[in-house]
A and B are shown apart, each in its own frame.
Chain A
Amino acid sequence: MNRRIFMSVHECEEDLLGVVKAVRQQGLKIVDIYTPYPVHGLDRAAGFGPSRLPWICFVLGLLGAGLKVWFEFWTTAQDWPINVGGKPWDSLPAFIPVTFEVMVLFAGVGTVIALFIATPLYPGKKAVTPFARTTDDRFALLLEEEDATFDPDQVRMLCERYNAVRVEEREEKY
């Protein structure tokens, strides 16, 4: 399926923040925003909700800790009980440090992998930039032309009010 994308390029972050707020007031749909560096306050201006990654981190941490406790209990107390210093086989305090480490491992590595899947972004992925200079000194805002009510001329005028240096429309597969 194809969709029409409207791109507006700006020279500084204040203009970008301004135009993002303005298009949101107009009810236009933001596809993505490309900046050379993280812009403070942009996620709030663009109306992106809070990240869902902490939840993934939380669940993975619980999973890692749970699996590890079970595994240690199974290895040292059930499958092959070993007497260590006369302690009971299922000595929970001895399991805690490793459980903690595995919890951190699951939560940390798992969250990074989840980020790669969700963004999608992974090592070796070919860079996708709608406009090459967003990696250097330009800020690009991408809007979706959802239906017939989208008036490119009007949006162009809106963007130019925030000093857009380049405005273009293109078709994109997705």
Chain B
Amino acid sequence: MPHETPKELLRLNEAAPRLFRNACLLGIAGLVVSLLIAVSVDGGVKRAYHSYLMNFCYFLSLSLGGLVFVMIQHLSRAGWSVVVRRISEAVAANVLFLVVLFVPILFGMHHLFPWTREELVASDPLLQWKQPYLNVPFFIIRCLIYFGVWCGLSYFLLRWSQEQDDSRSPALTLRMERWSAPGILLFAITVTFASFDLLMSRDPHWFSTIYGVYYFGGSFLGFVSLLPVIFFALRLNGYIRRSVTAEHFHDLGKLMLGFTVFWAYIAFSQFLLIWYADLPEETGWYARRLEGQWGWLSFLLLAGHFIIPFIGLLFRYPKRRLRYLAPWGLFILVMHWLDLYWLSMPEFYWGVEGADTGVIPFHLLDLTTLLGIGGFFLAGTIQWLRDCSLIPEGDPRLKESLSFENA
């Protein structure tokens, strides 16, 4: 079944090796500079680990957002999204590279997770009580399960889709659909517990059952905001100028708007219950985030993560024009980064006596590790797209997607 695809640049071809090398250089530079700062500054290693974990969780969230986006498209048999699916698959498959970048975290656990520090556990009955769950071997086993699930799903969803480019077999579409059903269930469970383990357990006294949904909401929002940015960059260099149209950007814009609201809804749901019940074991987490400079960051998130993009994306005009949608995507990506900073970094002071907890511990390392992991993230995406088309050319719904119109 050959489809007529418009004539345009659909493969990275000879540009790929150069882009890959530059992205890798950026990643190496970022991590080497981080390492140099970490060993030369007093207390730098601990600081570097905190930045590293936060930025790791940031890029992990983008990949996971891509993975669930792809699975939703398969499960709903979506026609519109076929032309944006290949890039999503590649971003999702970056989880395989993130596994390698996860290894350093295992060596710095005593800096990041108070429940791994024996002197703290010995004097803290609550931490002792949580030991059956919060202990190092079980943590590593859980992480192996999480990454196993994500790597398996994202790798095969990408590979089968690439296989379909040549074979054009509709059977592969059905296979991806069948695997997405258990996949999305496993995704929900693993992402929830991964967010508990990697971020929430940084304050091992505090707990919130909606935390996983909060991390998921930010992930999906981050990913659908990343897509227009990627397409903008591709278009600027002459790729995919015709297949992906205003109609597709309109729908991505709707998802951005929808998940901006979703994020706010979940964030407020978490806040309201804790604020209303006013129980000491729950309020501490928010008290830290409303104190001093953190309070300003909280209000910045309320404005920048919800109110401003909500108004900006509410109307039809910016959603249908990539030159407006891509900057909004970038804006939301910055806000998502600040959101993870806000989630993770106040726990920098956990268990530290006499620290001025109202001060945001901003450090150059936050940015160098961002560039480091970001460089490798970019390189990974390019690596997955090196030898294949930028849109799934063999998908039986491609034609529907190319001629898609918002009714």
Q: Which residues of A contact B (CB under 8 A)?
A: 40-41, 50, 54, 58, 85-86, 93-94, 96-97
Contacts and interface: CB of A to CB of B under 8 A. Distances in A.
B106 interface: no
Contacts of A96: 268, 272
Given A50-B316, A54-B316, A58-B314, 13 more contacts: A40-B405, A85-B278, A86-B278, A93-B268, A93-B271, A93-B272, A93-B275, A93-B276, A94-B272, A94-B276, A96-B268, A96-B272, A97-B272
B141 interface: no
B103 interface: no
Interface residues of B, number: 10
Nearest to A94: B276
B100 interface: no
DSSP majority for the A interface?
A: helix
Interface in B102-153: none
B407 interface: yes
Contacts of B316: 50, 54
Interface of B: 268, 271-272, 275-276, 278, 314, 316, 405, 407
Given A50-B316, A96-B268, A40 B275 contact: no
A40 B272 contact: no
B155 to A, nearest CB: 38
A50 B275 CA distance: 43
Contacts of A50: 316
Contacts of B407: 40
Nearest to B272: A93
Contacts of A54: 316
Contacts of B268: 93, 96
Contacts of A41: 405
A85 B276 contact: yes
14 contacts: A40-B405, A40-B407, A41-B405, A50-B316, A58-B314, A85-B276, A86-B278, A93-B268, A93-B271, A93-B276, A94-B272, A96-B268, A96-B272, A97-B272
A93 B264 CA distance: 13
A20 to B, nearest CB: 17
Contacts of A85: 276, 278
A93 B271 CA distance: 9
A54 B268 CA distance: 26
Nearest to B276: A94
A58 to B, nearest CB: 7
A50 B316 CA distance: 10
A96 B269 CA distance: 10
A86 B271 CA distance: 17
A110 B316 CA distance: 21
Contacts of B272: 93-94, 96-97
A163 B93 CA distance: 54
A156 B365 CA distance: 76
Nearest to B268: A96
Q: Kindly list the 5 A-B residue pairs having the minimum CB-CB distance in the complex, ordered from nearest.
A: A93-B275, A93-B272, A40-B407, A96-B268, A85-B278
A63 B308 CA distance: 19
Contacts of B314: 58
Contacts of A94: 272, 276
Nearest to A84: B276
A94 B277 CA distance: 11
Nearest to A96: B268
Nearest to A58: B314
B295 to A, nearest CB: 15
Nearest to A86: B278
A96 B275 CA distance: 13
A96 B265 CA distance: 11
Contacts of B275: 93
A41 B247 CA distance: 14
B266 to A, nearest CB: 13
A42 B316 CA distance: 20
A93 B274 CA distance: 11
A94 B276 CA distance: 8
Nearest to B271: A93
B86 to A, nearest CB: 27
A89 to B, nearest CB: 15
A72 to B, nearest CB: 14
Nearest to A41: B405
Nearest to B407: A40
A61 to B, nearest CB: 10
Nearest to B275: A93
Contacts of A86: 278
